[in-house]
Amino acid sequence: MSSLRHVAIIMDGNGRWAEAHGVPRAEGHRQGSLQVETVLDAAGKLGIKYVTLYAFSTENWKRSPAEVLALMKLLEQFSTERLPRMMEKNIRLRVIGRITDIPLFARQKLLEAVEKTSKNDGNVLTLALSYGGRAEIVDAVNRILAEKNDGKITEESFRNYLYAPDIPDPDLLIRTSGELRLSNFLLWELAYSEIYVTDVLWPDFGEEELKKAVEAFNRRDRRFGGRTK
């Protein structure tokens, strides 16, 4: 039985997919958004309880206004159109990041979906939006300072100030499109995660690709700094 409970994914390659298919970048992002449901269904079949997707980083605001707007419209569409499916499948939607940065039209629909699925107790889909690992740590420190906490901060107590302290750390990080970097994603939470990189672009990453990643994870000996012999 696999110990894999939580998979985090850096969904990379939408732009390259669009270029390879001779279509606008917005179409690449649209195709990428369609893969979310495919991968979430596959994760459910594999017994993976938590899936966290790097959907929009703090750095992504630097992209062209047209591309950012297209991504925000996709977020609004996802929150609205996928809600019945999430309710049907008992999926809980969560979000981490500096959510107040998200434009109101998209944020309202997103938070409505979060609220309506909040009682669901099946798989948990977490979207990292306007998210940065360093920003999360800075926000946690500022929360500690705001509370004027005079007690000693430990790793365990610090965790309580992160965006989603109740969600277990990812067992496996998957990055599509072959890039070999964390890109400021879950810097605290990924400390002991296994990493799997594939050259497959996100719009082409489906059930079989997820199975390959899980099989690779299951072959690894996770020591967490210790030794078995």
CATH number (domain holding residue 19): 3.40.1180.10
- Per-residue pLDDT tens for 128-161? 999 999 999 999 999 999 987 677 889 999 999 9
Give the number of domains in the chain.
1
Q: Is residue 156 part of a domain?
A: yes
Q: Is residue 227 part of a domain?
A: no
**Average pLDDT of the residues of the chain:** 94
Sign of torsion, CA 110 115 116 117?
positive
- What pLDDT is recorded for position 54? 98
- What pLDDT is recorded for position 229? 52
End-to-end CA distance of the chain: 22
- Per-residue pLDDT tens for 167-191? 999 999 999 999 999 999 999 999 9
What distance in Å separates the CA atoms of residue 129 and residue 11, rounded to the nearest whole number? 12
Q: Is residue 229 part of a domain?
A: no
Q: What is the percentage of the chain residues whose pLDDT exceeds 70?
A: 96
H and E: helices and strands count for the chain: 8, 6
Sign of torsion, CA 31 14 171 59?
negative
Q: Is residue 1 part of a domain?
A: no
Q: Is residue 224 part of a domain?
A: no
Residue 146 belongs to what domain range? Answer: 6-218
Helix 25-45 with 207-218: angle, nearest 10 deg: 50
pTM exceeds 0.85, yes or no: yes
pLDDT band at 221 (very low <50, low <70, confident <90, very high): confident
160 is catalytic: no
Per the residue annotation, which of 12, 14, 123, 171 is the catalytic one? 12
Whether residue 228 has pLDDT greater than 60: no
What distance in Å separates the CA atoms of residue 200 and residue 58, rounded to the nearest whole number? 24
Sign of torsion, CA 65 33 171 154?
positive
Q: Is residue 163 part of a domain?
A: yes
- Per-residue pLDDT tens for 54-97? 999 999 999 999 999 999 999 999 999 999 999 999 999 999 99
14 is catalytic: no
Per the residue annotation, which of 41, 60, 139, 169 is the catalytic one? 60
Q: Is residue 108 part of a domain?
A: yes
DSSP-H helix ranges across the chain: 14-20, 25-45, 65-81, 83-88, 104-116, 133-146, 155-159, 207-218
Q: Is residue 209 part of a domain?
A: yes
- Per-residue pLDDT tens for 23-46? 999 999 999 999 999 999 999 999
What distance in Å separates the CA atoms of residue 225 and residue 217, rounded to the nearest whole number? 17
